[in-house]
Amino acid sequence: MSAPKGTSSRSAAPARVAELRGLLLRANRAYYVDASPIMPDAEFDRLLAELSALEAEHPELDDADSPTHRVGGEPIKGFATKAHSRPMLSIDNTYSEDDLRAWHGRLLKSLGMGDGLFAGGDPPMLLADAKIDGVAVALRYERGRLVQALTRGDGVTGDDITENVRAIRAIPLTLAARPSGAPATPEVLEARGEIYMPLAEFERINAERDAADLEPFMNPRNATAGTLKQLDPKVVAQRRLGFVAHGRGEIDGPHAEGFAGSHSAFLRELKELGIPVSPALSHSTDIGAIVLAIQGFATTRHDCPYATDGMVVRVDDWLLQDQLGVTSKSPRWVIAYKYPAERKTTVLLRVDHQVGKTGKVTPRAVMEPVVLAGTTVQHATLHNYGQVRKKDIRLGDTIEVEKAGEIIPYVVSVVEAKRPKGAQPIQPPSACPICHGPVEIEPPEADTAQGGDPELETARRCVNPECPAQIREKLIWFAGRKQMDIDGLGERTIDAIAAGGIPLASFADVFRLGQHREALLGLERMGEKSVDNLLQGIEQARTRPLGRVLGALGIRHVGASNAKLLAKRFRSLQDLLEAEEAVLNQIEGFGPIRARTVHEYLHSQAGTQTFRELEQVGLTFPNPDYRDQNVAQCSAFTGRKIVLTGSLESFERNDLAEILEGLGAKVTGSVSKHTDLLIAGAAAGSKLTKAQELGIEIWDEAKLLEALPPEHRPQPPAA
């Protein structure tokens, strides 16, 4: 029980804010730089929420570099192009060990260290590190603060993606203080490196996109680039991007002289300053040893938590680097060795046209089996019919397949020289392959993998709501473990029930299966025990919470996470159904397209009928608070944006904010049209006036006490 403490005072806030910021920074650093986490994610989130509440209460303590701002700022309009301080050259690369040795030979020669009789000096130290498949970026710190992040662009100018980069937790906003006695940090310090998406995150996001019926990202690099191009930094914050530094840009100002002096020393300094680095996996003065390391990494790299495509070999010493200089395109002192992507050729036998739960018709290649990156594959994604047309894939073609991000097999291209005579192009179905109903073609959006080519389509969709293929896919999804979790209602049972002629054409039908017990018993392989199990599983599913049900219905753009956002925002199904499109649009992470699709569905005939029928068969849609599983019941505060003002008799504002957050409210610092409720104590000032002007609901302290669950009401003072 958490009665208001009444002990925290105004003067304690600055100290706690500083303490929390320190703790969160340390936790971030331990996670991203040292790769040894010091607190579980849930603890991190809790501290972050506490800091956020304190900052809302004490706007004077706000700081642009506070960890709370890493949830991403306001959406941006676009990316300005800015000049790099020094050209951001790309690295020469090769797929051949001979090239690598030849590069080394040239290097020795130009340093006057050849193998010849008169060669002098020790050969330079070489470093080799993993080449991570991400997006190159230049981070500029001035007086220890991150002031700018530019993409490589054309090497001379790049896109200013500072706002998005600020939302990446792996990248420090301020550099760590140096211990006394250590050399000072240069005033301008530019670290260049790679922003990447860890493989686990890549899989998580693709699963989410799949659930929301969005095209999956092709590979982690693609996903990283797509994320950094987002105009909404909040989206960037939701995706856990990583960063490693692997190079220097401008280093200037007092203390620049004598800073580092070699690549290895530079990385050590950066790590001290809190920037994650790409450490050398091998170092040697002997190119033969480096080649061996590259051969070894060819297999161990598959254990890395991120995608790699080679190794970068460079001269360590900065003086030697400068001596070697650059060509017009790339530095002479560094080279990338790339592993050939594992790509195989096979023959395309046929193309299946699959109908998904939202009616999306997708082509899938069926191929002669081939071993690819360790597993036998005979199916590969063709993405969509636009891609099939663009790549001109025909039946019987010899095709090249690869695993995107070493995970998903896909068709890269066609070996046209091997095309059989008269090979037929693949015809996109003009009707649904299952119900033969009409299909709609969706043009590309500007921002897709298709590059917005107006000739190409992104999706083809069966629009018949009664389509049996869609219904089947929807039911499989609906009953799945992560949705309604109905024990005993798997793909095979669903097919058996349909084949047995038992009505199963809607979600509500699932809950009417109890009326068909006899018929179920008559199905093959359905004994008394399995039927009872099934019916019990269905019974238990009647009380699944609103968020689960919403995620289970297969509404376009609503996967598990968006369903949670909806359930968090509204107190009940009724509230959600009554919400205006504009209200949906205000939900963080939603945006206009999603808001419109969801609003349209909720008010469509199909949507209305679905909810009405589900209610009729006894679903209750309970909606507990998602953020705190301990809060069993829904309170008057759940999902509401609340502002506190004036002085309250029974509470410190801090404590009250904490209680309300615990009940699922969001306590913010200022009144806006998004505010749901103002709680006004005595001597309330401008916030009260503004809330009155905006017509926002206003409560006094008495009303507040009435609405609070008893365990949160203050205790009468002890006598």
706 contacts: CB under 8 Å, gap ≥ 6:
none
Q: What angle is formed at CA 8 by the lines to CA 5 and CA 10, rounded to 5 degrees?
A: 145
* Interaction residues for Zn ion, span 454-513 (CB under 5 A): 462, 464, 467
215, 383 contact by CB (below 8 A):
yes
Question: What are the structure tokens assigned to 561, written together?
Answer: 């996470």
Transcribe 278-335 into DSSP letters.
---SEEES-HHHHHHHHHHHHHHGGGSSS-EEEEEEEE-BHHHHHHH-B-SSSBTTEE
Is 435 among the residues that bind Zn ion (CB under 5 A)? Answer: yes
Task: Report which of 695, 665, 707, 700 is spatially closest to residue 684, judged by C-alpha positions.
Answer: 700
Pick the stretch among 171-179, 247-255, 329-337, 428-436 that binds Zn ion (CB under 5 A): 428-436
> What's the CA gap between 210 and 166, in Å, rounded?
28
Task: Write out the H or E segment, with its range, that includes residue 188.
Answer: strand 188-196
Pick the stretch among 75-83, 196-204, 434-442, 586-594 that binds Zn ion (CB under 5 A): 434-442
Task: Return the number of other C-beta atoms located less than 10 Å from residue 257's C-beta.
Answer: 9
Is 361 among the residues that bind Zn ion (CB under 5 A)? Answer: no
Nearer to Zn ion, 462 or 595 (CB): 462
Name the minimum Å distance from CB 439 to Zn ion: 8
Name the minimum Å distance from CB 360 to Zn ion: 11
Transcribe 665-703 into DSSP letters.
-EEESS--TT--EEEE-BT--HHHHHHHHHT-EEE-HHH
Q: Is 5 a catalytic residue?
A: no
Angle, helix 12-32 to helix 41-57, in steps of 10 degrees: 150
Q: Which is catalytic among the residues 5, 109, 131, 641?
A: 131
Q: Extract the runs of DSSP E, i.e. beta strands, from 384-535.
A: 398-404, 408-414, 439-442, 459-462
Task: Write out the H or E segment, with its range, that includes residue 364.
Answer: strand 361-372
- Tell me the HSE value of 246 on the side-chain side, using a 13 A CA sphere: 32
Task: Report which of 428, 439, 437 is spatially closest to residue 468, judged by C-alpha positions.
Answer: 437
| Count of residues touching Zn ion (by CB under 5 A) | 7
Pick the stretch among 72-80, 437-445, 567-575, 616-624 that binds Zn ion (CB under 5 A): 437-445
424 contacts: CB under 8 Å, gap ≥ 6:
394, 395
Name the minimum Å distance from CB 585 to Zn ion: 31
- Are β-strands 677-680 and 641-645 bridged in parallel, bridged antiparallel, or unpaired? parallel
Q: 576 in helix, strand or coil?
A: helix
Name the minimum Å distance from CB 434 to Zn ion: 5
272, 178 contact by CB (below 8 A):
yes
Nearer to Zn ion, 143 or 436 (CB): 436
Nearer to Zn ion, 89 or 434 (CB): 434
Nearer to Zn ion, 356 or 405 (CB): 356
Nearer to Zn ion, 119 or 463 (CB): 463
Name the minimum Å distance from CB 470 to Zn ion: 6
Nearer to Zn ion, 210 or 466 (CB): 466
The alpha carbon torsion through 686, 691, 692, 696 (nearest 10 deg) reads: -170
Q: What one-letter code names the amino acid at 179?
A: P
Name the minimum Å distance from CB 466 to Zn ion: 8
HEC profile of 107-172: HHHHCCCCCCCCCCCCCCCEEEEEEECCEEEEEEEECCEEEEEEECCCCCEEEECHHHHCCCCCCC
Nearer to Zn ion, 222 or 358 (CB): 358
Nearer to Zn ion, 3 or 505 (CB): 505
> What's the CA gap between 400 and 580, in Å, rounded?
49
385, 460 contact by CB (below 8 A):
yes
Nearer to Zn ion, 170 or 462 (CB): 462
Question: What are the structure tokens assigned to 105, written together?
Answer: 């030979």
636, 642 contact by CB (below 8 A):
no
Nearer to Zn ion, 267 or 434 (CB): 434
The single residue among 89, 335, 432, 494 that binds Zn ion, judged by CB under 5 A, is 432
Residues lying near Zn ion in the complex (CB under 5 A) are found at 432, 434-435, 437, 462, 464, 467
Catalytic residues: 131
